[in-house]
Amino acid sequence: MVARTDEITRADGSTYRRAGAGPVLLLVHGYLGGAAQWQREFDQLSGHFDVIAPDLPGFGDAAGAPCIDRIEGFALHLAGLVDELKIDRFCLLGHSMGGMIAQEFASRFSDRVDKLILYGTGPLGLMPDRFETLEMSRRRLAEDGVARTIRRIGSTWFRHGDAAQGFQVVAELGAKASQSAAQAGLDAMSHWDGRAALSSLAMPSLVVWGDGDQSYRWSQVEALWRGLPNSQLAVIPGTAHAAHLEKPGLFQAILLDFLGA
């Protein structure tokens, strides 16, 4: 069944998508991502949850919104959204840079997060052993622009590169981002370190990782899993950084099992 997904534009120009009913599940995309990347999750999970996915300012359909250059700022933006929607408690999933935002939000507003899912992410924004340094990404972005950058970087997110079935979704969505937001996102990650806060995130947590992820290697994932006091680990074989597009059925089954739906 295809869910009816509503897209709402907020006063600040940012947007979010919403579908379903039940407990709230908030999905936060990563660098050069957007709410549209979660359409399969809307289709499959909205029968169990009130699924909400924002476009972070400067990305996706919110490309015209003022950009944010710190993870802390993104977390406060997220807090503003749930306040506006009068949502007190919810389950929170963050992917990649969105996982950093989710960690930051959970450390600041732990009483609002029932369960935390950290997918394809780690506790250190500089991402040790990433396929290239953030500084290299910054230089290439300035030289190549956003559209070429997402095709180059996005190809590393799949086991089969730009031939993967989900690659065009990533490439088209990522190309919507503004140049300033793309640069600001790299700056935000490079300045963030969430390691000291991990031990305070006591809510039930799930760490999800594709075993071929070239952005977040095992050292980052292990630090996250072992650093969280109440965590589980799910490794999705044969996938990379975009496991939700490579093996959506398995990805969704893991989420439903953890969330108890």
- Per-residue pLDDT, 123: 98
The model's pLDDT over 178-199, given as tens digits with 9 standing for 90+, comes to: 999 999 999 999 999 999 999 9
- Per-residue pLDDT, 5: 84
pLDDT of 35 over the 60 cut: yes
Mean pLDDT, residues 245-261 taken together: 96
- Per-residue pLDDT, 261: 65
The model's pLDDT over 79-101, given as tens digits with 9 standing for 90+, comes to: 999 999 999 999 999 999 999 99
What string of DSSP letters covers the chain?
A: -----EEEE-TTS-EEEEEE-SSEEEEE--TT--GGGGHHHHHHHTTTSEEEEEE-TTSGGGTTSPP--SHHHHHHHHHHHHHHTT---EEEEEETHHHHHHHHHHHH-GGGEEEEEEES--SBTT-TT-SS-HHHHHHHHHHH-HHHHHHHHHGGGSTTGGGSTTHHHHHHHHTTS-HHHHHHHHHHHHT-B-GGGGGG--S-EEEEEETT-SSS-HHHHHHHHHHSTTEEEEEETT--TTHHHHSHHHHHHHHHHHHT-
Mean pLDDT, residues 52-78 taken together: 97
User: What is the rounded average pLDDT for all residues in the chain?
Assistant: 96
Q: Read off the pTM.
A: 0.97
- Per-residue pLDDT, 54: 98
- Per-residue pLDDT, 172: 98
- Per-residue pLDDT, 4: 76
pLDDT of 2 over the 90 cut: no
- Per-residue pLDDT, 48: 96
- Per-residue pLDDT, 108: 98
pLDDT of 1 over the 70 cut: no
Q: Which CATH superfamily is domain 6-259 in?
A: Alpha/Beta hydrolase fold, catalytic domain (3.40.50.1820)
Mean pLDDT, residues 165-172 taken together: 96
